[in-house]
Amino acid sequence: MGDRVEFARMNGLGNKILIVDMRGRKDRVTPEAAIALNADPQTGFDQIMAIHDPKSEGTDAFIDILNCDGTKAQACGNGTRCVVQALAAETGRQTFTFQTVAGILNAREHEDGTISVDMGKPVFEWDRIPLSEDFHDTSRIELQIGPIDDPVLHSPSVLSMGNPHAVFWVDRDVMSFDLERFGPLLENHPIFPERANITLAEVTSPSSIRTRTWERGAGLTLACGSAACAAAVSAARTGRTGRTVTVDVASATPPGILTIEWRESDDRVVMTGPAEWEWSGTLDPATGMWSRDEAPLREAGSLGL
């Protein structure tokens, strides 16, 4: 194997994911490698999901998550579904338990190919999201962009799904807003000391919402699973929907739907949706140098080990 490791290019509703197999190794995918991989149009990504040997008893792997700017991410729901599909094809198993810096994630591949991930419990306390100011009610905080008397976006719901999120409610098509301009301003607003994922959400029925997300450390993204969870939880928390909704991820290519259930029994959020295997190859986790397999010899979805 030398210095190279197996990797697969996958996507979850268009959210570009690189699955990198670091099992049996002590090193990690470096920020420099992540930046180099993202700079290449063929390997450009939203998140790297690096699979490491388990650190805790009862888990199947530790997942190290990197954004395309080389920074660490705490959670990635779409990427976790891709990891499940890859490992399910490799092992024949359907259920997995992963550890991330955000905690333990349980996941299952269903017979129809969709994958459910238990994303854990939402966090609403201002200092745990975290925010830089004390807000007693984080279902609606004072934050806006645009003129004071006619803001373009205002009063987001904020929470953590293992990573910080701000959900701005809009009453027209989420694609009609210039999120590419507003996103970086809001992501880096002083109210978010660890930056934040910025989502526009439109309620389309009592059981459905439509979202578009500027992702922390990745920018305008085709899809973001943890943001879909944050929007679904916030919709239920503010009385806009029930606790189970379908989320139409507006930017997804092809268009895609996630089902999000915020369970009343244990307060946990379960996300269900697809994952797609594209191609595989090998890469150097230190430099990001890579090569693509010449022929699709591996089963789709498998890392082939």
Q: Which residues share a beta bridge with 104?
A: 99
**Residue ranges, CATH 3.10.310.10, the chain:** 5-117+275-292, 144-267
Specify the pLDDT at position 303: 61
Supply the Cα-derived Rg of the chain in whole angstroms. Answer: 19
Q: What is the CATH number of domain 144-267?
A: 3.10.310.10
d(CA 18, CA 272): 20
What one-character-per-residue DSSP string does 82-136 give? HHHHHHHHHH---EEEEEETTEEEEEEE-TTS-EEEE----B--TTTTT-SS--S
Q: At what angle do helices 225-237 and 77-91 cross, to 10 degrees?
A: 130
Helices (H), the chain: 31-39, 77-91, 179-187, 225-237
Per-residue model confidence as pLDDT tens for the chain (305 residues): 458 999 999 999 888 999 999 999 999 999 999 999 999 999 999 999 999 999 999 999 999 999 999 999 888 889 999 999 999 999 999 999 999 998 899 999 999 999 999 999 999 999 999 999 999 999 999 999 999 999 999 999 999 999 999 999 999 999 999 999 999 999 999 999 999 999 999 999 999 999 999 999 888 888 889 999 999 999 999 999 999 999 998 776 666 799 999 999 999 999 999 999 999 999 999 999 999 987 554 455 556 54
Helices and strands, number each (H, E), in the chain: 4, 20
Look at the alpha carbons of 178, 180, 184, 187 in this order and tell me if their dihedral is positive or negative: positive
Task: Name 223's Cβ contacts closer than 8 Å, sequence gap at least 6.
Answer: 12, 13, 14, 15, 78, 213, 249, 251, 252, 256
Is 5-117+275-292 assigned to CATH 3.10.180.10? no
Active centre residues (catalytic): 76, 224
Q: What are the distances in angstroms from CA 33 to CA 65, 70, 80, 161, 202?
A: 13, 8, 21, 27, 37
